[in-house]
Amino acid sequence: MTNLARAAALSVATLLCCPLAVKADQTTIGISLNGTTGHHVEPNRIESIPFLPMPMIEIEHIHQHLHARLEIVPPIGPVPLAQSDGFIENGQDPRVSYLNGELSYALPSSPITLGIGETIINQRTLYPGQPIIQASRVVGMRLIARAHLYDDGTRSLDADFSVNPALHGLQTNEITDPSIPSSAIIPQLAEHGSLIDTSLRWSIKEGRYALLYGVRYINYTAGYSRDGSLADRNHLFMPFVGVDWSVGKDESATSRHVGLSGIPAKLVRAPASWTTVGMNLFGTNGNRTETGAFSDTPLEVALLPAFLLNHGFGRYEIDSEATLPNAGPNPYGGQQEVWSLLTVDGLVHVNARYAFGLGETVGNIDPIHLQPFEQTHTRTEALDIVGRMTLARDVRGHVDATLRLEPDLHVTSSVAFSQPNLIPLAFGTVERGSRVVGDIARVSDVGRFGLTYGLRYVNQTTNYGYIGSLGVQLTRSTSLMPFAGVTVRP
């Protein structure tokens, strides 16, 4: 036997006796139900999106570090929009569908996955009693970033942040009545827009199946290319639950557990985690001014409770604060009867001193009675850019400084008039603004409990756009709010 033959025989024997550790491909098919809640905004109109169990099909194939993923929402509808009175479009019959394809790469020895994709959104709307069918399709490239935050072989937590920076589409209008001349057909309109899609997903694996649940937030804004005016805006906050099924041979959780991002469990160790709950009492103090006012309006001094929930695992942290519906003075906005505020931020600790992250703040003011028979509901939303620095640390606690920037604050308001003997009238306005929130807090630890005290500064500016000749009104509020509270680690 020649040397070459001996080498070939030895190689074959080695392969037969000691197979190479090549990861098998894996295909996952899943279905989830996504509860929709949010608002659909058009010029001069705001519509509530009802809570519906929207089905979504997901197919993912993993080949080593390469992932291919497809999301499909089949055509659903009609969606019963809760519209305001007084518009021709009342009773419209919209149907929507969604297709998203992605190709991503899991960075070796890292919990991060990066990729690109393509998104297609279709809608077709009928107007009962009207000879009009409106349809549109928007398409655009998607940029994807995922983080496999936690994995113990059976349970995993994944965070997803995707953005479509430029969506392009066409809105068409069809006249269904043959008696109407073709010259009456509404022209086709080009659209452009953008979309932000974020989610947190928890997965519990059992054999070839996995139970999924979490929450998803989508913000889609589109305008007309001809003049840049608003076409529509949709913001959805969607809790979801679903099931994944792994096609083919079932691999044990200890050998290769794959979650949403498809990263092996051995790359993401289960770190120490903690949970903290608490409550702070804020003293409201500050001023509010509006265009045309001769002087600032002082805020009423009162104690405002805010509830805290913080959960951390390793370098990652989810921080939330909720002010429940109350009738006290609002340092974040205008006059009101009942208002509430919710902030949820996700942070990454760069080291023992600095942490950075993103989040979302949602506020509601409901209702405002500006005049007799007039009622207004206002909702604010903003993307948070968060930075935190530990200024000092000792055996008894630490001092933190936190800065939260909200450079693009969206404000949507619906106004309803219900004066007796007159036809009810309703309309909406879309407003923009910005907000800065800064905290300096001292936390003193006493076993499982903690004492928190410090100072918060809030500066909010908003441009309110009005219909007709009323023009644009500027509202600005500043508040310096001392606070104190307690925390506990269950």
CATH of the domain at 442: 2.40.128.90
- CB-CB contact of 144 with 115 (8 Å): yes
Assess if residue 169 is contained within a domain.
yes
Q: What is the full DSSP assignment across 337-398?
A: SSEEEEEEEEEEESSSSEEEEEEEEEEEEEEE-SSTTEEEEEEEEEEEEEEEEEEEEETTEE
Picking from 340, 345, 406, 342, the residue whose alpha carbon sits closest to that of residue 378 is: 340
The Cα–Cα gap between 389 and 403 comes to 9
Looking at 247, 267, 287, the residue that finishes a domain is 267
Q: Are residues 101 and 207 in the same domain?
A: yes
Which tens digits make up the pLDDT trace of 297-345?
A: 788 888 999 999 998 888 888 899 999 888 888 888 766 668 899 999 9
86 phi/psi in degrees, rounded to 5: 95, 15
User: pLDDT at position 274, please?
Assistant: 83
Q: Are residues 233 and 342 in the same domain?
A: no
Q: Are residues 88 and 212 in the same domain?
A: yes
The Cα–Cα gap between 62 and 366 comes to 47
Beta-bridge partner residues of 176 = none
Q: Are residues 445 and 469 in the same domain?
A: yes
Assess if residue 11 is contained within a domain.
no
Q: Are residues 298 and 410 in the same domain?
A: yes
Assess if residue 14 is contained within a domain.
no
Assess if residue 194 is contained within a domain.
yes
Assess if residue 1 is contained within a domain.
no
The Cα–Cα gap between 349 and 48 comes to 38
Q: Are residues 94 and 212 in the same domain?
A: yes
Single-letter code of the amino acid located at 47: E
- CB-CB contact of 234 with 217 (8 Å): no
Q: Are residues 232 and 257 in the same domain?
A: yes
The Cα–Cα gap between 414 and 42 comes to 11
Q: Are residues 256 and 381 in the same domain?
A: no
Assess if residue 13 is contained within a domain.
no
Assess if residue 144 is contained within a domain.
yes
User: pLDDT at position 22, please?
Assistant: 44
What residue numbers bound the domain in which 102 lies?
21-267
SS3 content of the chain, % helix, strand, coil (to 5): 5, 65, 25
Burial class (CB in 10 A: 0-12, 13-18, 19+), 471: exposed
Torsion angle defined by CA atoms of residues 325, 330, 331 and 333, in that order, rounded to the nearest 10 degrees: 100
Domain count within the chain: 2
**Model's pTM, two decimal places?**
0.60
- CB-CB contact of 408 with 369 (8 Å): no
Assess if residue 234 is contained within a domain.
yes
Looking at 267, 290, 305, the residue that finishes a domain is 267
Looking at 267, 291, 318, the residue that finishes a domain is 267
Q: What is the full DSSP assignment across 66-83?
A: EEEEEEEEEEE-----BP
- Series of mean pLDDT values for 10-residue runs along the chain (490 residues): 46 40 76 85 70 89 93 80 44 81 90 93 82 87 90 87 90 78 71 88 91 90 77 83 83 38 41 84 86 71 91 87 88 75 89 88 74 71 90 90 89 70 64 89 90 94 57 76 92
- Pairing of the two strands 425-446 and 472-488: unpaired
* Sheet strands (E) in 229-373: 230-247, 273-283, 286-290, 297-298, 303-313, 316-326, 339-349, 354-368
Q: Are residues 323 and 174 in the same domain?
A: no
Q: Are residues 381 and 246 in the same domain?
A: no
- CB-CB contact of 211 with 189 (8 Å): no
The Cα–Cα gap between 197 and 234 comes to 12
